[in-house]
Structure 1
């Protein structure tokens, strides 16, 4: 596999339009003028991804007070995302990137270590995108547990 593209602060966030859990298109440009947390996760309804999504759900208020909306993206189909969102009471959009093109554009798909083996898959990643659509912070290979609390502590004032 070739060298993976990684985003850095100051980079223009790659544009996207993806279906949400109800099949409605959501674009990054919908958030221009407001900062947004864009996070990529491997699969809905798995233990780590559920923990991470619930942490974001429970922190939406604090993130909103800091000026951030939240969007989660995975390669799951909208139907699976809808079940996940309903089961966990998620209060932010989950977007479907079935062909993984957006994941790849953001550097969140490619080679990673999994139990000591190199595999190809979704790289759990979180980005802060500023109101102008630029990357303010890029975090790759984040942990599902404790990540959101760490993010809240590190938000720019």
Structure 2
């Protein structure tokens, strides 16, 4: 049978997209306003986030690296020495020089002293206040050093300036030169940002701080006088407490005994002084006659028993 071929219907074309509506002027203006508002909102949010982060960073600073924190620790713990503190003198304050230019350090000065060191600081040599301070310590030098303390002036002046100052005022103690201010800073008398605060620092042989404070010329001398008085009051008690009776060795005493005996035998005997006995006075003839007369009258004679000395006849 013959096959009939049927034509398939062509597929329907896709529907055309709807035509965009033309935006009016009002719609365009509204869209622009929305875009501007969105941009400002985003900027404000970003600014707010940034300020919040800055505030948080200020309140909670970022952690320092371990190496930096470790190196900063000694500077935080280091401070001004206070009365009663015992400091280690090895390397304390660095090296300085005296007015003759000889290199020294606080440890060396303490080791060379008998009881400790007094450092009075002054801002500048040969100025009125510093001259008064230096002369006050000069006039009290003997009583202050009687306790064993060594007196030194300390400033940032050069050796030449301090030498001229020392010779002009006839100071009996050395003047120390600390141009970089390392020792002055270590004892807590450096003025910020630079300079020297007038004051006094006293330390004993053990490294114990006895005085550390700023003050004027008279005040610094008064502080040292009080320290000296305290040392003088403690000295007798310490000596009496530390004294012990001498220990005598028995063998030494035995060896010394024969020598003492020989010395005693060699000495000539001392003659005893004669003791003078009382000598009775002789009874005179008149007293004898008085006794006889009393017997004739019948009264007993009251005479002491004394020996009668007979008169010697002339031969």
Question: Which residue is equivalent to 2:86?
Answer: 11
CA distance in 1, matches of 2:198, 2:165: 18
Gaps of 5+ in 2: 1-75, 234-315
Q: Is the 8 A contact 2:135 2:171 kept in 1?
A: yes
Q: Find 2:122's aligned residue among 32, 41, 52.
A: 41
Aligned position for 2:149: 68
Length, aligned pairs only: 148
Would you say the 8 A contact 1:48–1:145 is kept in 2?
A: no
Q: Which runs of 5+ in 1 are unaligned?
A: 112-118
Q: Any idea what the Cα deviations from partners look like across 1:39-92, whole Å, max 9, x if unmatched?
A: 111011001111111111111111111221111110000000000000000111
State the alpha-carbon separation in 1 of the partners of residues 93 and 185 from structure 2: 12
* Aligned match of 2:137: 56
Query: Taking structure 1 as reference, are residues 19 and 101 closer, same or farther at Cα in structure 2, changes over 3 Å only?
Result: same
Distance 2:226 2:115 in 1: 20
- Whether the 8 Å contact between 2:120 and 2:220 is mirrored in structure 1 is no
Question: Per residue, is there more strand in 1 or in 2?
Answer: 1
Cα distance in 2 for partners of 1:89, 1:144 equals 18
> Is contact 1:15-1:29 (8 Å) kept?
no
Kindly report the root-mean-square deviation, in angstroms, between the aligned alpha carbons of the 2 structures.
Answer: 2.3
Compute the TM-score of the two structures, normalised by the length of structure 1. Answer: 0.83
**Distance between the aligned counterparts of 1:11 and 1:109, measured in 2?**
20
Q: CA deviation at 1:146?
A: 4.8
Between Structure 1 and Structure 2, the one with more helix by share is: 2
* Larger CA Rg, structure 1 vs 2: 2
Structure 2 partner of 1:124: 198
Would the alpha carbon gap of residues 136 and 154 (structure 1) be closer, same or farther in structure 2, given more than 3 Å must change? closer
Q: Is the 8 A contact 2:187 2:212 kept in 1?
A: no
Deviations 1:99-152 (A, max 9, x none): 1121111111124xxxxxxx7521112111011122122112x01135314531
- Contact conserved, 1:71 with 1:95, CA < 8 A, in 2? yes
- The structure with higher relative contact order (CA 8 Å, sep 6+) is 1
Tell me the TM-score normalised to structure 2 length.
0.43
